[in-house]
């Protein structure tokens, strides 16, 4: 009886211990039942910026001569500019909506100043002052457009950039290039900048765009430069300025932007929402233009090189027709190319968005759960690791030990002599 009672008490105690240890502790974290993402957080969240999604396009399509466009149902008719080469693209995504001979190498004239600005703008603050030396104005090409920079005069860097963008002043380019390493060094820097942007048709000889043997670009490359430029607030401020005062010692005079789509000069109507970018002309290049405009939440960039009819102002009207078409057709055509630089083959694959997204409290959205990982806490805060479920191994081992002890006691009592 004593042994039976001992066994009964041991078993009961072990069972009670098992129930106590296996029950969840109040307030302890329980393992998640699912691995679904936490609900999106409210407005004001901070997440890692998402680059434009790339849609598949035939990478060789823009290498073909002639007009390239892939209209969908309801797409407006594409205009037929007389320019030797042109491109119309979405500045946000970089998608080329349509193009003609996009990679045809042609002299760019002063549209090359957009690449000059991309290269030299970061080197000097706008408020910096510089006194012009005589040698900085040597070598300016005959017949160049000038803003009126004079040796011995002191200018702010912002004045010189107004001279570059508004008056297309080759004298201002020469001074800024001298301040940034010199003429030949600037040509090399511009070449490197073009390659870094994925512009491979451009060969820089004269940084101001003045005709020089071997100096070429393409409508594709000019669109790349325009897109890159309007992503820089300082570049955008200069290229969209219609009028400014240029200093001349103790006085100043007014200068106007020669981009007629911006000013409406010479009977060319202003284009609504125009941002800039840069126009050009030489007898060898003809008229060239990079133009960008914003309408609603969409920004387009177009480049036009050397119209073959319509006179000297045709480049603006052809750019206008391409911008109008691009805004009307943006969601009704398949892209025929991209202004984004090609992905480097040796670059590592992008980590999954779920693993890279970073959310903070109040963020726009929580990252999706990684399969197999614990679900995030619903309040969006960084939660501690979920406590594992209590193990049943320890209680079972205690039960076994209690039973073994009871059996040992029973065996000892059987061997003990009776009194």
Give, to the nearest 10 degrees, the angle between helix 170-179 and helix 183-196. 90
Element of type H or E holding 129: strand 129-131
Q: Determine what percent of the chain falls in helix, strand and coil, rounding each to the nearest 5.
A: 35, 15, 50
Q: Where are the beta strands (DSSP E) in 328-405?
A: 333-334, 337-338
Question: What are the residues whose beta carbons fall under 8 Å from the beta carbon of 372, sequence distance 6 or more?
Answer: 35
Which DSSP category does 90 fall into?
E
CA distance linking residue 98 with residue 118, whole number of Å:
25
> Which residues are catalytic, by number?
110, 113, 168
CA distance linking residue 260 with residue 269, whole number of Å:
8
Which DSSP category does 289 fall into?
E
SS3 324: helix
CA distance linking residue 15 with residue 396, whole number of Å:
9
Element of type H or E holding 258: none
Judge whether 161 and 276 are in contact, CB under 8 Å.
no
SS3 308: coil
Which string of b and e fits 331-359 if b means at least 16 CB within 10 Å? eebebbbbbbeeeeeeeeeeeeeeeebeb
DSSP string, 188-237: HHHHHHHHHTT--S-B-SSTT----TT-BB-HHHHHHHHHHHTTSHHHHH
Phi and psi at 338, nearest 5°, equal -145, 145
- Distance from chain centroid for Cα 291: 19
């Amino acid at each position: 009886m004593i042994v039976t009672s001992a066994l009964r008490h041991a078993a009961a105690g072990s069972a009670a211990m098992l129930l106590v240890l296996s029950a969840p502790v109040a307030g302890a974290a329980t393992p998640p039942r699912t691995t679904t993402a936490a609900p999106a957080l409210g407005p004001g969240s901070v997440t890692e910026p998402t680059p434009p999604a790339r849609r598949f396009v035939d990478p060789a399509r823009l290498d073909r001569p002639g007009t390239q466009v892939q209209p969908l149902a309801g797409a407006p008719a594409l205009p037929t500019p007389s320019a030797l080469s042109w491109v119309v693209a979405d500045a946000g995504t970089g998608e080329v909506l349509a193009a003609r001979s996009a990679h045809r190498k042609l002299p760019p004239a002063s549209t090359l100043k957009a690449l000059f600005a991309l290269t030299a703008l970061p080197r000097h603050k706008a408020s910096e002052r510089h006194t012009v030396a005589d040698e900085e104005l040597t070598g300016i090409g005959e017949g160049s457009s000038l803003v009126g920079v004079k040796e011995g005069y002191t200018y702010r860097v912002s004045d010189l950039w107004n001279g570059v963008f508004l008056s297309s002043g080759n004298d201002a380019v020469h001074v800024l290039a001298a301040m940034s390493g010199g003429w030949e060094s600037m040509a090399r820097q511009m070449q490197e900048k073009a390659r870094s942007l994925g512009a491979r048709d451009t060969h820089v000889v004269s940084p101001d765009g003045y005709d020089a043997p071997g100096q070429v670009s393409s409508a594709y490359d000019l669109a790349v430069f325009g897109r890159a430029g309007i992503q820089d607030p300082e570049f955008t401020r200069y290229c969209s300025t219609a009028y400014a005062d240029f200093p001349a010692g103790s006085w100043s005079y007014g200068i106007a932007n020669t981009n007629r789509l911006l000013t409406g000069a010479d009977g060319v109507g202003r284009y609504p929402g125009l941002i800039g970018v840069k126009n050009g002309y030489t007898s060898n290049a003809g008229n060239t233009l990079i133009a960008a405009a914003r309408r609603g939440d969409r920004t387009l960039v177009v480049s036009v090189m050397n119209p073959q009819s319509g006179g000297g102002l045709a480049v603006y009207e052809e750019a206008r027709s391409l911008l109008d078409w691009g805004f009307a057709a943006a969601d009704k055509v398949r892209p025929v190319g991209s202004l984004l630089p090609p992905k480097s083959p040796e670059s590592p694959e992008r980590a999954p968005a779920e693993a890279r997204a970073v959310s903070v409290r109040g963020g726009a959205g929580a990252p999706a759960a990684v399969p197999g990982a614990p679900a995030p806490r619903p309040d969006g805060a960084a939660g501690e690791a979920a406590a594992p479920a209590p193990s049943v191994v320890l209680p079972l081992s205690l039960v076994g030990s209690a039973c073994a002890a009871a059996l040992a006691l029973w065996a000892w009592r059987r061997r003990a002599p009776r009194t």
